[in-house]
């Protein structure tokens, strides 16, 4: 199964390493693809938008004509996971005039709300369907509100930190900075063991071709 990571900037190698570890730990048949072009985007069954600098990732998505292509693929059914900056990009609303949201999940985001880099912290969360998880927060955004169709999977200080709407998964923290692959394994289950087939009129990815 081909899993894409937007490969311009941010925690790209960390996500790639934890996906590679799942080949041994969970016996997953995973091929990691660094997505930097429309061609590479079209080849994957699921996509991770990593943490990093949301303004930089947004600018490069636009520069390489991937912004609208990502939105179209996800709306056609491809699962996507956005972590930290990735969540800012997939959200409905963020306050930055330098980052246009992909509007893939009904959530209002406030950037860097947990403080500066030096104020990073680790918090043990209770995540629905996963259990206790030591979450790493680094210049993390806050999810101020979510729509009625969005499932809140975990909270910290009363605010959502992990949310899902159908094929879209968003996290304010960095699961790739731990050795715990359970959230990535959960994302693999969203994709399915053989990949996904879009229910839209145009099939973007056919599982039998993996």
Which residues are identified as catalytic? 84, 174, 176
Here the CATH number for the domain that contains residue 38 is 3.40.50.880
Strand, coil or helix: 159:
strand
Helix pair 182-191, 12-25: axis angle to 10 deg: 80
- Find the domain containing 121 and state its range: 2-209
Neighbours of 101 (CB within 10 A): 20
Per residue of the chain (210 residues), what is the pLDDT tens digit? Answer: 999 999 999 999 999 999 999 988 888 899 999 999 999 999 999 999 999 999 999 999 999 999 999 999 999 999 999 999 999 999 998 777 788 899 999 999 987 666 555 568 999 999 999 999 999 998 889 999 999 999 999 999 999 999 999 999 999 999 999 999 999 999 999 998 666 644 433 344 443 333
Residues 180 and 168: their CA atoms lie apart, in Å, by 21
Number of domains in the chain: 1
């Amino acid at each position: 199964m081909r899993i894409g990571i937007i490969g311009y900037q941010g925690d790209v190698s960390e996500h790639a390493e934890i996906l590679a570890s799942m080949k041994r730990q969970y016996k997953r048949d995973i091929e990691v693809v660094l997505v930097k072009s429309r061609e590479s985007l079209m080849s994957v069954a699921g996509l991770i938008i990593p943490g990093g600098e949301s303004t930089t990732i947004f600018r490069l998505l636009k520069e390489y004509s991937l912004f609208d292509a990502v939105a179209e693929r996800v709306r056609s059914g491809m699962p996507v996971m956005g972590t930290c900056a990735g969540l800012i990009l997939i959200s409905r609303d963020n306050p930055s005039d330098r980052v246009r949201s992909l509007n893939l999940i009904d959530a209002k985001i406030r950037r860097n709300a947990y403080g500066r880099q030096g104020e990073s912290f680790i918090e043990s969360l209770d995540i629905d369907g996963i259990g206790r998880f030591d979450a790493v927060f680094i210049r993390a955004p806050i999810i101020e509100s979510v729509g009625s169709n969005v499932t809140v999977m975990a909270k910290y200080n009363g605010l959502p930190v992990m949310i899902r709407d159908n094929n879209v998964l968003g996290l304010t923290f960095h699961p790739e900075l731990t050795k715990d692959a359970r959230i990535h394994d959960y994302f693999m289950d969203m994709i399915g063991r053989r990949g996904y087939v879009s229910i839209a009129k145009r099939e973007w990815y056919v599982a039998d071709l993996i």
